[in-house]
Amino acid sequence: MKGRVLVVDDDSALAEMLGIVLRGEGFEPYFVGNGDHALAAFRDARPDLVLLDLMLPGRDGIEVCRQIRGESGVPIVMLTAKTDTIDVVVGLESGADDYIVKPFKPKELVARVRARLRRTEDPAPEQLTIGDLDIDVAGHAVHRGDEAINLTPLEFDLLAALARKPWQVFSREVLLEQVWGYRHAADTRLVNVHVQRLRSKIEKDAEHPDIVVTIRGVGYKAGPA
Amino acid sequence: MTGRRLGRPLGRPLGRRLGARWRRSLQLRVVATTVLLSGVVVLLIGAVLIQQLVAGLLGAKEDAARSEVQAGLGTAQLQVDSFDRGDPGSARELLGGVISTLGNRAGAGGRYDVVLLSSSGRQAAGTSGFVSNEIAVSSIPRDLRDVIAVRRVPAYRYVDIRYVDGRPSAPGLAYGGPLDVPGGGAYELYYLYPLTQEQETLDLVQRTLAFAGLGLLLLIGLIGLLVARQVVAPVRMAARTAERLSAGRLHERMQVRGEDDLARLAMSFNTMAASLQAQIRQLEELSRLQRRFVADVSHELRTPLTTVRMAADVLHEERQTFHPAVRRSAELLQHELDRFEALLAELLEISRFDAGAAALDAEPVDLRDVARRVVEAAQPLADRFGVERSGRLRLQVPATPCVADMDRRRIERVLRNLVVNAIEHGGGHDVVVRVAAGIDAVAASVRDHGVGLNPGEEQRVFDRFWRADPARARGIGGTGLGLSIAVEDTRLHGGRLEAWGQPGGGAHFRLTLPHRVGEPVTASPIPLVPDDALALPAGVPVVVSEPPVPVTAGRRHG
């Protein structure tokens, strides 16, 4: 398993501790302590995953998240001390795939990191269609006709999960388990925010989606082809 | 001022509506009182005026009549005295002459009429007499005739003058005197003055006075209204402003106009409002700073805590390779960190409640499911505590659903808290969780048979960091914030969390939730005092309490 992890955190003690834990699990950590240098460090390290503290000197975590997302679909996991709805939602909307609330246990962290890196293992060749989109699972590509649509790995997984079983309505909890790899019920806001983000990329009209359809009170399903 | 009340049902009795108006409207009372009192005064003045006028008018008439009658009597006496006594036929002629002479004196206008009647025949029906014009003899009242005929002195009466030719009768003055006709007997001579003109004058004056009085009253009423308005309007404005202030609109102020007493009222009112606003602001600011501090501290503690947590975990994983003392230290570190973390999490939760930032995520949930999950999760803890006395954790639920709007996460936390508390303080005896549904509420209760609550403790059981017995409770988990958070969670739902306790008889905590968030809870489907409460010897107090409900109870936060 590839394991280059960029830790963006200004707290040197926490960063060092994260390094110890990550190394112990076989990952290769890189560190940057300032939001302004985060993007440069990201380009140098070319990590497979970014651990990003939301509270940073210089550019804050949200801004860094947007920058990285601007040039890469690499998984981003936020570290946050806040559990208030607005912070988490803003972080997710700025492009993060998942978040962990401080204080967390090493096992929890490692599980999240693994879950995000899991999908980068080589998938079997598979061709799916959803709505008017063609999905090449092995090639990690989505096309509408000849037009390629750029999705992050997580968004891709979400779309693929829905497309594999177009007859099934997925509850948010089921999606959390299948796409994010959560065992227990977690924050369903993750799903809401990512569905919104996915829709903004693939729907012709994100206000009236017809590829990822909301089933009120149940969850989401693939729209009719 | 009336516009607000237009929406009232019209079916209410008028009397009660008026009564209510009377009690409520100062303006109405002022105007009504003014008009009423002025009315009495106007009436009095009018009555006196009319009386004076009548006296003046009639007095003049009477004076004129007296002199005319005396003059007439003198003339008539002279004429009859010179009368030749032997000829009765000419007597009639003579008397007729006298009458016409006297009648002619009245002039063409007919200022008065003259009547000459024989006193001797006055008892007879068809009294004969001499009448100028068409006067009916019955115009002269009998009592007047009696006075003149018997006492032989002039006298007068106000009479109704009747006419024989069918004209309507008119008010008048009858002035009469005795006339002795030598050889012809006693006669009475009457002058009849019609008072039509005087009556008209009087009527006119009366009408004028009435109109003037009414006009005056109207004017006074208007003036009263105006004056009352000037006073009442600012008072009403003050009342409205005060209402808005108390509704929380602290920026409301009264308009200050002029420099009079009312302006002073407005100014003092505004000063009061401003100082109140400043004080409230200050308190709010202080409380905000304090809450902010708690939130910041909790927040800032999290980053170092994360590092410590991870370090402890790494040590804990490797503890088998350590020296026994170091190993135990690593275990203690790990264990206490769990407590520390729980405490921090609850502190943060409390600070969120204090900041009013707690949001309710309510949906219909069956309380039985929540209770089942909680009991299931607490079973291992119950087994551990119940070992000595073989106490068990039991759940009693009805067969029918107990659905209410609730935030599942919060209610689960409340129940978990109550159950864990009961187990830890239950002394190893049975702990029973009950769920029930009522008309407008659902309830869950947790009964333990531990040491119970002592008098005085019921007030403090929901307090932050309060422990029944510090020495004993420390050994058990718990942060001391559990019940405080439970109270806040319940409050967020508009529900009630109550405690019952008996020294030695155990405790009973009851959670009641309305079917819909914010609806009032009238009764709980579970009685707070349990059936198996000890029969109380006299003098042992039962502790029943409910945490104080603040003004924000039932309101949605955030």
The answer to whether the complex's ipTM is over 0.85 is: no
CB contact under 8 A, B313 and A106: yes
Of B303, B313, B352, the CB nearest to A11: B303
Task: Measure in Å the smallest separation between the Cα of B464 and chain A Cα atoms.
Answer: 22
For residue B183, pLDDT over 80 is answered with no
Band of pLDDT at residue B12, cut at 50, 70 and 90: low
Cβ contacts of residue B512 below 8 Å, gap of 6+?
Answer: B441, B442, B443, B495, B496, B497, B498, B521, B524, B525, B526
Rounded Cα distance between B94 and B76, Å, is: 10
Q: What is the full DSSP assignment across B219-258?
A: HHHHHHHHHHHHHHHHHHHHHHHHHHHHTT-TT------S
Q: Which residue segments constitute the domains of chain A, with CATH numbers given?
A: 4-118 (3.40.50.2300), 127-222 (1.10.10.10)
Rounded to whole angstroms, the Cα distance separating B78 from B184 reads: 14
Helix (H, G, I), strand (E, B) or coil at B331: helix
Q: Name the pLDDT band for B86 (thresholds 50, 70, 90).
A: low
List chain A residues with CB under 8 Å of B305: 102-103
pLDDT at B259: 81
Q: Which residues of B touch A216 (CB under 8 A)?
A: none
Number of neighbours of residue B108 by Cβ within 10 angstroms: 6
Residues A192 and A172: beta-carbon distance below 8 Å: yes
pLDDT category of residue A19 using cuts at 50, 70 and 90: very high
Q: How far is Cα of residue B133 from the mean position of the Cα atoms in its chain?
A: 74
d(CA B309, nearest CA chain A) in Å: 7
- CA B219: distance to chain centroid? 31
User: Is A103's CB within 8 Å of B352's CB?
Assistant: no
Q: How far apart are CA B72 and CA B79, in angstroms?
A: 11
What number is the average pLDDT over the span A74-78? Answer: 90
Contacts of B341 in chain A (CB under 8 A): 103
Q: Which residue of B lies nearest to A10 if distances are taken between CA atoms?
A: B303
Contact at CB, A81 and B302, closer than 8 angstroms: yes
Closest alpha carbon within chain A to B363: A217
Q: Which has the higher per-residue pLDDT, B11 or B415?
A: B415
C-alpha pair distances (Å), A25 with each of A9, A109, A113: 19, 11, 11
Per-residue pLDDT band at B483 (split at 50, 70, 90): confident
Size of interface A-B (CB pairs under 8 A): 49
Give the gap in angstroms from C-alpha B351 to the nearest C-alpha of chain A: 12
Q: Do B341 and A103 touch (CB under 8 A)?
A: yes
- The beta-carbon neighbor of A103 closest among B306, B314, B352 is B306
Mean pLDDT of chain B: 80
Distance CA B30, CA B222 (A): 11
Give tens-digit pLDDT for B421-471: 888 888 888 899 999 998 889 999 999 888 888 777 776 788 887 776 655
CB contact under 8 A, B299 and A107: no
Question: What single-letter amino acid sits at A189?
Answer: R
Under the banding of pLDDT at 50, 70 and 90, the label for residue A29 is very high
Any idea which residue has 């029906």 for tokens?
A: B125
Residue A185 — pLDDT band, cuts 50, 70, 90? low
DSSP assignment of B332-378 equals HHHHHHHHHHHHHHHHHHHHHHHTT------EEEEHHHHHHHHHHHH
Q: In the numeric block, which tokens belong to residue B52?
A: 């004076």
B307–A106 C-beta distance less than 8 A = no
Cβ contact, residue pair A17, B304, below 8 Å: no
Q: What is the pLDDT of residues A127-162, one digit of tens each?
A: 888 888 888 888 788 888 888 888 888 888 888 888
Q: Please give the distance of CA A172 from its chain centroid, rounded to a whole number.
A: 15
Which residues does chain A have within 8 Å of residue B344's beta carbon, measured at their own beta carbons?
Answer: 103
**Between A130 and A68, where is the model more confident?**
A68
By Cβ distance, the residue of A79, A83, A103 closest to B309 is: A103
Chain A residues close to B310, C-beta within 8 Å: 17-18, 20-21, 105-106, 109
Residue type at A10 in one-letter notation:
D
Residue B88 pLDDT > 70, yes or no? no
Flag if B302 and A106 touch (Cβ within 8 Å): no
How many CA atoms are closer than 13 Å to the CA of B479, on its beta-carbon side? 23
B306 contacts in chain A (CB < 8 Å): 14, 17, 79, 102-104
- Set out the domains of chain B in order of their start, with CATH numbers: 21-250 (3.30.450.20), 262-352 (1.10.287.130), 362-545 (3.30.565.10)
